[in-house]
Amino acid sequence: MSNIVAIVGRPNVGKSTFFNRLIQRREAIVDAVSGVTRDRHYGKSDWNGKEFSLIDTGGYVLGSDDVFEAEIDKQVELAIDEADAIIFMVDVENGVTGMDEDVAKLLRKVSKPVFLVVNKVDNAKRSKDAVEFYSLGLGDYYTVASINGSGTGELLDALVEALPEKEEVVEEELPRFAVVGRPNAGKSSFINALIGEDRYIVTDIAGTTRDSIDTKYNRFGFEFNLVDTAGIRRKAKVKEDLEFYSVMRSVRAIEHSDVCLLVLDATRGFDGQVQNIFWLAERNRKGMVVLVNKWDLVEKDHKSMKEYEKAIRKQMEPFTDVPVVFISVLTKQRIFKAIETAVEVYKNRSKKIKTSKLNEILLPIIENYPPPAYKAKYVKIKYIMQLPTPQPQFAFFCNLPQYVKDGYKRFLENKLREHFDFKGVPISVYMRKK
C-alpha cells in the first residue's frame, strides 16, 4: 500500500511540470505502460526504493479566476485529509500572493509533513528572492526548477524520509473486491443489497485503511473482502461533484484491491470521471468489472443493451476485454451475477500458464505473423514465458527487442486473450533480449 503525496498550490506555479518530471523518473525505471494513459493527474513515483502515489491537484481546478480560490481551498482541505504528505508549490517570479497566503493558512494547522517548494529558481538572484517565502510561516523551503529538474533530488530525499512507514498488514489473504465509481452511482446501495439479503456475512472489519470498510463475505463457496469506498465519512465542505474527491478516494481503494467493481449510473454513462477511475485501475493492473447500475430507469428496446455496451467499449479502447454487467440495485437484478463475474476475473488475474503450453500455441502464430522488419532487420521471437508476478505479465525473448513496436505488442496481447481467458485483466507484454 503506497503513500499518497498531493501537490497543491494556486494555478500556473508549475505543479504539472513538476508532477510530469517525477512520473517520468519512475517510468525510466519501470517499463512504460503501453496504451494511452488518459488521466494525467495521478501517477506513481519512487525514490531511493520507496514508492509513493502522486496526485497533481492542478488538473482538477476548473473555472474562472474567482472560482479558483474556492476550488483550491477545497482541494487543499481534501489533500490534508487524504494525503500522507503535501507539497505546496509557489513561484519565485510572482513572489508571495494572497492566494498563497490562504493556502499557507490552511496548511499551518496540519500535523502531516508539508514541503514548501519554491519553483522556477534557476539562478543565484532568484535564489535570493526566494527568501520572502519565509513569511508564509511554514519554515524552511526547497528551491527547484521543474523545467530542468534542479533541486528535486534534495526535496525527494526529505520527502521519502518523512513518509510514514506503511505497516504491511498481514491478515488471511482473502481476495479484495473494491466497489468504486463516482458519487451517487449506487455503490453503497449495491453493497447493502448484497449484504442485506445475505445471511452468510461473517464479520465487519474496520478497514486497515482508515477510510474504507471491509466486509468479509461468503457466496458461491468463495470468500472475499468487499471494500466499500462509498461508506466513507465525507467532509461536509467537500462538494459531491468534485472530481478530485472521487479520484482521491478511489486511489486508496484501488491500490488496496485485486478486482475493482466500477459502478456507473446508466443515466449518466461512461463519463470523464468514470473514465478517470477506470484508467486508474488499469494503470494499477487490477482486475475490472463494469457494472451499469439503474438500468431499470433507461428507456429501452431489444437493441439498447448491445448498443450501450458497444458505446462503453469504444471508450475503453484499447483495453476492451472487460466484462460489462447491467444491474439494478433497486430491484436486485443481476447483483449476484456481478459478484460471480468478479470471482471469475479474480481467477483470471491469478492464472498461471505453463511455459510449454504458451510456446506450443503462440510460436506457430508468431511464425505466420512475424513482427514487421525494421531497417531491413528481422525480429525473431524464440521463446515465451509468464513472469512470476501477482498479475499476468509475459516476456517474449527475441534477438532485437527494441524494434518491436506497440502495435505488434498489442497483437500479441490479443492472441494471449484469444487462447487463454484473461477477461477483465490488464496484461503486460515485455520484449526481452534472448
Give the residue among 8, 108, 38 at the shortest CA–CA distance from 317: 38
b/e per residue, 139-159, with b = 16+ CB within 10 A?
eebbbbbbeeeebbeebbeeb
- Write out the binding residues for GTP: 9-16, 56-60, 119-122, 181-188, 228-232, 293-296
Mean pLDDT, the chain, as a whole number? 81
Q: What is the radius of gyration, based on Cα positions, of the chain?
A: 24
What's the pLDDT at 423? 95
pLDDT band, residue 331 (cuts 50/70/90): confident
DSSP class of residue 94 equals: T
Q: What is the mean pLDDT of residues 250-255?
A: 79
Percent of the chain with pLDDT over 70: 80
> What would the pLDDT profile of 2-47 be if each residue is shown by its tens digit?
788 989 888 888 888 888 888 765 443 333 333 333 445 777 788 8
**What strand order describes the sheet that includes 287-293?**
204-206, 213-219, 222-228, 176-180, 259-265, 287-293, 324-326
Residue by residue, DSSP assigns 241-289 as: T-HHHHHHHHHHHHHT-SEEEEEEETTT-S-HHHHHHHHHHHHTT-EEE
Q: Is the pLDDT of residue 203 over 50?
A: no
Supply angle C-alpha 393, 396, 401, rounded to 5. 120
- Which residues participate in the annotated binding site? 9-16, 56-60, 119-122, 181-188, 228-232, 293-296
Instruction: Please identify which residue in the block is written with the cell numbers 485529509.
Output: 81
Return the SS3 of 19: helix
* Mean pLDDT to the nearest integer, 388-401: 91
pLDDT tens-digit series, residues 397-434: 999 888 888 899 999 999 999 999 999 999 999 999 87
Kindly report which listed range (143-147, 227-231, 348-352) carries the lowest average pLDDT score: 227-231
Q: How far is CA 169 from the centre of its chain?
A: 21
Most confident of 170-179, 211-220, 239-248, 254-263: 254-263
Return the higher-pLDDT residue of 121 and 203.
121
Residue 293 pLDDT:
92
Cα separation, 316 vs 327, whole angstroms: 19
Q: What domains does the chain contain, in order, with CATH numbers?
A: 3-162 (3.40.50.300), 176-344 (3.40.50.300), 355-433 (3.30.300.20)
User: What's the rounded mean pLDDT across residues 249-257?
Assistant: 79
pLDDT for residue 230: 53
pLDDT in the model for residue 427: 93
